[in-house]
Amino acid sequence: MRWTLKSKPSEDTVKHLAQALNVKDFVATLLVQRGIENFEDAKRFFRPSLDDLHNPYLMKDMEKAVERIEKAIENQENILVFGDYDVDGTTAVSLVSSYLRTYYPNIATYIPDRYNEGYGISFTGIDFADDNGFSLIIALDCGIKSIDHVAYAKKRNIDFIICDHHRPGKNLPEAVAVLDPKRDDCNYPYDELCGCGIGFKLIQALGQNRKETIEDLFPYLDLVAAAIAADIVPMTGENRVLAYFGLQVINSDPRPGIKAIIHQIKKQTLDITDVVFIIAPRINAAGRIKHGNHAVQLLTEFDFEQAQQFASEIEKYNSDRKELDKQITKEALSQIEDNKEKERFTSVVFQEDWHKGVIGIVASRLIETYYRPTLVFTKSGDKYAASARSVKGFDVYNALEACAEHLEQFGGHMYAAGMTLKEENYQLFKDAFEKEVEKTIHPDMLTPEISVDAEINFADITPKLTRILKQFEPFGPQNMTPVFLTKNVKDTGYGKPMGQEDEHLKLFVKQNNSEGIAAIGFGLGNKLETTKNGQPFEMVYSIDENEWNGKVSLQLRLRDIK
């Protein structure tokens, strides 16, 4: 691990903000690092408001989208709500379809089969629409590159509205409307929404047309929060507002499907991390193991007993997913070892019987061991399909674009992408990808980095500080949990390993004459020696709360020790 202390912002800006907010300089520094430089910025950050959401009609083509939907309703057309099979896609489909059904019955949903149709808009899906009399398809979290598919639909008199957040290619599909803030010609003020976020802007625009207020749409925010958390989009601007209020819905009055998941895990209050690690994997498991339709069924069910039945089925899929993920990760790691590919700049592995639904998770797991851009391939029909994951700071999408001549199709963003290629191009692509990464990656990017916000002393950790840091939530990219560095720390002699294989570390630490603080380090069991015999050490950590038997106490979540 390399520890990187963030550069200090302008001293004047920090001083003015600290004064305006009556906080310590290092707290003001944390805020300035997040782009908060004055009282008004801080007020928006600490007190998110639905009034801070932008007018949806600022998005290019929004008027066209709303007009076409209203025309379809007027003419009694059948509307098909189509979306990807991951959390972002299934929540977006659930959101838009359930909203439209509140005032119009001719709505159906379609999630492509991960294995037979693959990612995004499919010809099979368009044929389904044609055979069943649908004349309008609203595509969510996909479609920005589906030029041929939209043209194919047009010949069958089927119109498309595309709501996507992925990067467009050189040309856009000839849809009635293309809602994507990443379009070069779109001046929407915030371009980091997820697919479900774009879906929410669409229902916001439809709602405005029907004289509804933003409060009327409040119940849909549990879905948006789940998508924001799962899709790992920046926790800034509109995303932060939507996630903040979405968490309130999740913790107070979630839809029956989400309530049924929470009911199974028996946790009182969920934060954004719980949404990432508890709710999202379960919604995802349906599309990974069985079919994304099961997730939409769960999220649009209004009878709680029925939702509980769906949730228990999905719990089973999630258990199966965990087993597969474990087994394939083991096989992929031994492939890297056996082929002596440990010195490469990339990890590219293939086995034809690997389950397509978990190769993205496996790619992330491989990065935990071999920290470098990673692709995991499996056989899909007569082609090879892969999921790509990247390391901090490296744009894997650009690297794939540079090797596009060997690919059939690809899509995604900086840190995650998917692709297919012909069997005969696999080795050519693998070599080209390795060369491209070697040429473009900075050597530092191959060592995991812990980004440290500030150096502090234990004396700075007060109840007031923990109250302020709680208000930084929800956390996510560009608003990560603050990480602190403290030097000259000693364990009070209670340090011990934890876990079945002693893989974790529990300490009770002091600095100078400070009171002792409990600290826990997951995966840091091998660092116990560094803390023994009262020898001083440095540690990086975040400030956390531990809930045990109804009691809440302060603890430090260790990231690393040296």
Span 27-70, pLDDT tens digits: 999 999 999 999 999 999 999 999 999 999 999 999 999 999 99
**Which residues fall within 8 angstroms of residue 290, CB to CB, at 6 or more apart?**
317
| Res 484 pLDDT > 80 | yes
Query: Average pLDDT in the 530-554 region?
Result: 86
Helix (H) or strand (E) run with residue 497 in it: strand 496-498
Q: What pairing do the DSSP bridges indicate for beta strands 383-389 and 416-422?
A: antiparallel
Distance from C-alpha of 550 to C-alpha of 485, rounded to nearest angstrom = 30
- Report pLDDT digits (tens) over 296-336: 999 999 999 999 999 999 989 888 888 999 999 999 999 99
Residues, the chain:
562
Distance from C-alpha of 101 to C-alpha of 82, rounded to nearest angstrom = 15
Return the CA Rg of the chain: 25
- What is the spatial order of strands in the sheet that 383-389 belongs to? 347-350, 374-380, 383-389, 416-422, 409-412
Give the residue ranges of DSSP H helices in 106-186: 123-131, 147-155
φ/ψ of residue 398, rounded to 5? -60, -40
Distance from C-alpha of 107 to C-alpha of 78, rounded to nearest angstrom = 6
**Which domains occur in the chain, in start order?**
56-313 (3.90.1640.30), 339-446 (3.10.310.30), 450-562 (2.40.50.460)
**How many Cβ atoms from other residues are within 10 Å of residue 75's Cβ?**
9
φ/ψ of residue 234, rounded to 5? -55, 135
- The tokens describing 283, both together, are 């919604």
Query: What's the mean per-residue pLDDT of the chain?
Result: 93
Sequence letter at residue 137: I
| Res 229 pLDDT > 70 | yes
**Which residues fall within 8 angstroms of residue 533, CB to CB, at 6 or more apart?**
none
pLDDT at 342: 67
Distance from C-alpha of 67 to C-alpha of 57, rounded to nearest angstrom = 12
pLDDT at 287: 77
